[in-house]
Structure 1
Amino acid sequence: MKKSLSKLPNIITSLRIFLSISFAYLILRQDTYSNENFEAITLIFLCICFSDFIDGKIARKTGNTTVFGAKFDVIADLFYMTISYSALIVAGKIYFWFLGFIFIKFLEFTVTSNFMRNYNRKSENPFVFDKLGRITAASFYIIPGITCLVSYIAPYYEQSLIKYLLYATLLAGIYSSSMRIKKCLEFKNVKALET
């Protein structure tokens, strides 16, 4: 029983990858065939969000957290974002530059996490999170679902609402990145003073 529980978080994370493919497929169908798939899109999006929430909770609750699991979770998140944003770009609902910003933010997050972790060896987690960065990442995560919702509920205001959401997320992400880089420089300066 305990052995099967140890695999459950990674199984849930794997499921998110398959749900992401279905979500992207339905986004493209929604654009092609109007809004007939809205309920399915909503259900799959909620399952994706729930799987992201629950896999880590189960891993922590059962004492099965691993570096592999943490990295696999981030890879599944990045896969979901890449495929869903790509579908939204093809559907003409999201700007291409925003997907580029997600990749830049992910790269910055990975590099600064590695840098900060090297200066704080107490943490076994491969990633170092900040509050605004978490909010930005959550925004990256929910924007595809919000885009589908807005295009269904308020199609006349869709472009304006999505544009404001993208720019607000962009500003939050840039500010988060600047604070993380500043913290890395502070760590480096402290280390230089110690030697």
Structure 2
Amino acid sequence: MAVLPIRITGEPVLHTPAEEVTEFDDALRTLVADMLETTDAAPGVGLAGPQVGVGKRLFVYSWTGDDDVLWRGAAINPVLWITPAVPESVDELDEDDESEGCLSLPGERFPLRRAEGALLRAFDEHGEPFEIEAHGWLARIFQHEYDHLDGLLYADRLSHPFGKQAVKAVKKQSWGVPGKSWLPGHDHPEG
């Protein structure tokens, strides 16, 4: 296993829809193991293929809920249904409960309204189908990682004034151009 470099916003693979995984082989299983190791080293709760330069529809997740249950695995060629739909309320965002970070915008956190629930159907790294009904933070993780597979970063979804703050942070760090990455355990995330 190996820790992989994580691409920073501006890298084209992060802003391009990913392609279906077609081969469930040893190379895929190694990639999944490396992505989980990278997630742990970062540390993070999820990581999508495009974030490590692989334009394929897969992500890993590793998160322990309030009930001390560890949710850890890979979602290959996932399909995600949001249940219920994102609320149409005009309530202010809760910066404590609704803030997200992203390993491709390291060190930044902004609030984003997400659906409370999601249904994930995918294959594991061995080609076995599975389904998870998620709520709360696990649903948020799935939505965040699934967005990566469609070429979206959470900063692309931010409302005013947070979207503007994210643009400023990207500019301040000289991100937003190809060729920027960081290696968990070796690089300072903003480097």
TM-score calculated relative to the size of structure 2: 0.28
Q: Which has the higher contact order (CA 8 A, sep 6+)?
A: 2
Q: Highest CA radius of gyration, 1 or 2?
A: 1
Structure whose residues are more often helix by fraction: 1
Structure whose residues are more often strand by fraction: 2
